[in-house]
Each structure stands twice: as structure tokens, then as C-alpha cells.
Homo-oligomer: A and B are copies of this chain.
Amino acid sequence: MTTPVLQARGLVKRYGKVTALAGSDLELLPGEILAVIGDNGAGKSSLIKALSGAVIPDEGEIFLDGDPVTFSTPIDARRAGIETVHQSLAVSPSLDIAANLFLGRERRRRGVLGSVFRMLDRNGMREEARRQLDALGIMTIQNPGQAVETLSGGQRQAVAVARAAAFGSRVVIMDEPTAALGVRESRAVLDLILQVRDRGLPVILISHNMPHVFEVADRIHIQRLGRRKAVVDPKSVSMSDAVAIMTGAMEPPAA
């Protein structure tokens, strides 16, 4: 059996009286797209927050390429090569698009200006941002120097997705990346996800959109009531069965 790139075992996360994760497992295999589906409140976001260092789980273990790791901040996860698009987007409204793309990993200028005066390479970052957005096909964004607060919800989401795709080196996690996107923009994101996978990077995709999930996923992780209820193969399970398992209307097939 191949070692999972990213693995979680028995994750528990409680918020006061609410138990968001009740001992959840997860395995992400090399080069696959793993979709995570589940009802609202099933603990999907909580699960990937734990994997990306955004929250510290109360119990449970996380393994990266088989080695146990602990992420106490999002930076730890990022250092390990895990990039995440959070459901809440995590962009800085008053900064421009380029600044948001490079937030926390700004490029400095060459020479003394960069090393001594620590000056940013604004133009370089703008150009690179332009390239990334073009690659995503976000045509409606005209100028990477525009402040993010002036973008529509969908445009903002595109910025967050572009960032994760550009910088992920080991795992890319996307929490409902197409929720606010238009048809064309969703298409672009799905293509991007496939591209990322083709680069050899495994992707975790959380989505409520079953056609999308069944189109791109290699395996589907079904989350229910804070636990992994089943992992199914989209080629052998129908959409309605997956939904039935998700809502508890059907027991998962014995793997």
C-alpha cells in the first residue's frame, strides 16, 4: 500500500458543547483528487482547518508522508507545502490583488535595495500575479493593482484559488472553491484542480456540487456527524447513493 501524503487519525475538535469533529480520519494518496462531501455542519471545514494548522485539534494525529507532524499555526502547514483555500477566503480587503497573492511570502528586489532596504519587488509581483490570474482565466479582473475589496464575491474567490494553486508544493486544499463562482469561472477552477493534480500534487476538494465532485474526484470521502462515514469510488457508486450515504439514508457498501 502506498503511504498517504497526508493522513489524519482520530481527530477530535470541540467548540464548547458542540463537537465539530468526533474522531475523524482522512487519507490523501499521492497524486489524487480526494473530494470531501457532507451535510452542512458535518465537520468538513473543521477537518481541513486541522490539517492546515488553522485550528489545533483536541485529540488525534496527523501524518505527512507517514511521519507524525503537529501544525500549531497555518505557517507550519504552509512550510510543509500545504496550501489552503479557506471557506472564509482569508484575503485582506484593503490590499491589492498582487499583494494578496504574495501575502506572507513577498518577494524582495535584487541587490542592496532588497537585502539592506528590504524593498519589495512590486512590479515583479504584479506581473507574476497577472500571469497566475490569466492562467485561471479570470478575465473580468483587469488590473492586479486593484484592491480586493472592490471585487465581487466570485472574483475574490478566484484570487484565493489562484494563490493556493500557485504556491502549493505538496498538498492543495480547497474548501468550497466554486461556491460563489459563475459557470465559466467554476469550469476554470475545476480545470485548474485537474492541472494541479497533473503536476503531481494531490488535492483535497470540499464541495456541495455533486456533478463537480463526480467529474474530478478520484475518491470521495463522505463526512457525517464529525466522522468519516465512508470512502467511495465515484466510478462505482452513483451520485444518489453517495448523497444517501452522506445523509444517513443508506449504509455505505462494505469496502
Contacts and interface: CB of A to CB of B under 8 A. Distances in A.
Interface in A34-91: 37-42, 45, 87
B180 A40 contact: yes
A208 B211 CA distance: 13
A152 B3 CA distance: 33
Interface of A: 15, 18, 37-42, 45, 87, 140, 150-155, 158, 176, 179-186, 208-211, 243, 246-247
B247 A184 contact: yes
One complex includes copies of this chain to the number of 2
A158 B39 CA distance: 13
B181 A40 contact: yes
22 contacts: A18-B150, A37-B183, A39-B182, A39-B183, A40-B140, A40-B154, A40-B155, A40-B158, A40-B182, A41-B140, A42-B182, A45-B152, A45-B153, A154-B208, A181-B208, A182-B246, A183-B208, A183-B246, A183-B247, A184-B246, A184-B247, A209-B209
A176 B180 contact: yes
B40 A152 contact: yes
A150 B17 CA distance: 11
A154 B40 CA distance: 5
A75 to B, nearest CB: 25
Q: Which of A38, A153, A208, A210 has the most CB of B within 10 A?
A: A208
B243 A183 contact: yes
Q: Which of A15, A40, A150, A182 has the most CB of B within 10 A?
A: A40
Given A183-B243, A246-B183, A40 B209 contact: no
Contacts of A41: 140, 151-152, 154-155
Contacts of A246: 182-184
A18 B181 CA distance: 20
Contacts of A154: 39-41, 208
Contacts of A210: 183
A186 B211 contact: no
A182 B38 contact: yes
Given A183-B247, A184-B243, 13 more contacts: A39-B182, A39-B184, A39-B185, A40-B140, A40-B152, A40-B153, A41-B151, A41-B152, A42-B182, A45-B153, A87-B180, A183-B208, A186-B208
